[in-house]
Amino acid sequence: MADKLPVLAVLGGTGNLGLGLAGRWALAGYEVVIGSRAADKAIAAADELRKLCASRGRADARVSGKDNRAAAEASQIVALTVPFENQKAVLEVVKPVVQGKVFIDATVPLVPPRVARVQLPAEGSAGRIAQNLLGEGVKVVSAFQNVAADLLQSGDALDCDVLVCGDSKEAREQVVSLVQAAGMRGFHAGSLDNGAAADALTSVLIFVNKQYGCHAGIRLTGVPEGKS
């Protein structure tokens, strides 16, 4: 069964969110390639992640590390998990090798130092920036903006939902499956431009986290069980 699963790249996968997603997917049986600006850093992160997976009962986890471009090239689905200020630089590096692929953008357009204030870009959302730069040959889907990396990295059950936005229904469907594989409920949330709402919610959640000392997430209510 595992061989039928797509290979996943996590660009910037040496960081907080990327390690969390890569770990969840590896534990779910996916082959994961961690991407970094530096291949040796990616390889070291992959070594650590394999050990973590083994400690969580998955000694057969398939995790490797490459530079961002090679990771994207080696994978069928590519996720981007770098700070907003570095988004375009990484997109430029991988653009030639992600054509025809599903590209998950988890970038949130936060503008330090006021990260708890919504400051959306002129394009509307980070996902739209990615789509504009990568071109129509790439199926960009935005997701995971509202999930705390600390919770993903923990071995704990996750108690939050993920809004999945993209202009291709088929691509959204694949990402909803990856949300479920990572242990959450994922919902089709409309066009890529709707990702602006999830981008904006992140600043709201950062404010809530500071106010209440927590890792808040979002929950959709009223959706029948089994519809995620």
Ligand X SMILES: NC(=O)c1ccc[n+]([C@@H]2O[C@H](COP(=O)([O-])OP(=O)(O)OC[C@H]3O[C@@H](n4cnc5c(N)ncnc54)[C@H](OP(=O)(O)O)[C@@H]3O)[C@@H](O)[C@H]2O)c1
Residues that bind ligand X (CB under 6 A): 12, 14-18, 36-37, 41, 81-84, 86, 89-90, 106-108, 110, 144-145, 147-149
Instruction: Name residues whose C-beta falls within 8 Å of residue 94's C-beta, 6 or more positions apart in sequence.
Output: 11, 68, 69, 72, 78
**Smallest gap from residue 4 Cβ to ligand X (A):** 28
Residue (29 or 204) nearer to ligand X, CB? 204
Residue (34 or 138) nearer to ligand X, CB? 34
**Smallest gap from residue 35 Cβ to ligand X (A):** 8
**Smallest gap from residue 194 Cβ to ligand X (A):** 17
Residue (5 or 178) nearer to ligand X, CB? 178
Residue (99 or 154) nearer to ligand X, CB? 154
Structure tokens belonging to residue 173: 């469907």
Residue nearest to ligand X (CB): 15
Residue (1 or 157) nearer to ligand X, CB? 157
**Smallest gap from residue 227 Cβ to ligand X (A):** 24
**Smallest gap from residue 109 Cβ to ligand X (A):** 8
**Smallest gap from residue 3 Cβ to ligand X (A):** 28
Per the CB < 8 A criterion, the answer to whether 61 and 54 are in contact is yes
Where do we find the tokens 């797509």?
6
Residue (38 or 59) nearer to ligand X, CB? 38
**Smallest gap from residue 80 Cβ to ligand X (A):** 8
Determine how many CB atoms are found less than 10 A away from the CB of residue 217: 18
Structure tokens belonging to residue 127: 């996902």
Residue (15 or 29) nearer to ligand X, CB? 15
Instruction: Name residues whose C-beta falls within 8 Å of residue 112's C-beta, 6 or more positions apart in sequence.
Output: none
